Amino acid sequence: MKKLERYVKEITKDLPEDEKEELTEEIYGHLQDHVNELLIKGQSEKKAIRYDIRNPMQYFLTCLRYV
């Protein structure tokens, strides 16, 4: 899931250093969980990752399930 890692690194690059590591791990974890859900539903890994990257609102909806 290198593409997902690069995406998370890109969207967190401008965060303050004291927040970056924690938020990077949290965002990556949520996105990875969502990719895994899509894999279970029959999506290919490539399509699942592409979906999460192209649909950032889905990430936020996924996060709301954990709150």
pLDDT, tens digit, for every residue of 27-61? Answer: 899 889 889 999 999 999 999 998 888 887 666 66
Section 18-32 average pLDDT: 90
**How many CB atoms sit inside 10 A of residue 61's CB?**
10
Total tally of structural domains belonging to the chain: 1
Residue 31 burial (10 A CB sphere; 0-12, 13-18, 19+): buried
Region of 16 please: left (phi>0), alpha (psi -120 to 50) or beta.
beta
Q: What is the pLDDT of residue 45?
A: 93
Residue 14: inside a domain: no
Structural domain harbouring 59: 2-9+19-64
pLDDT score of 31: 87
Residue 44 lies in a domain: yes
Question: DSSP labels for 8-25?
Answer: HHHHHTTS-HHHHHHHHH
3-state class percentages of the chain: helix first, strand second, coil last, to nearest 5: 80, 0, 20
- 52 within domain boundaries: yes
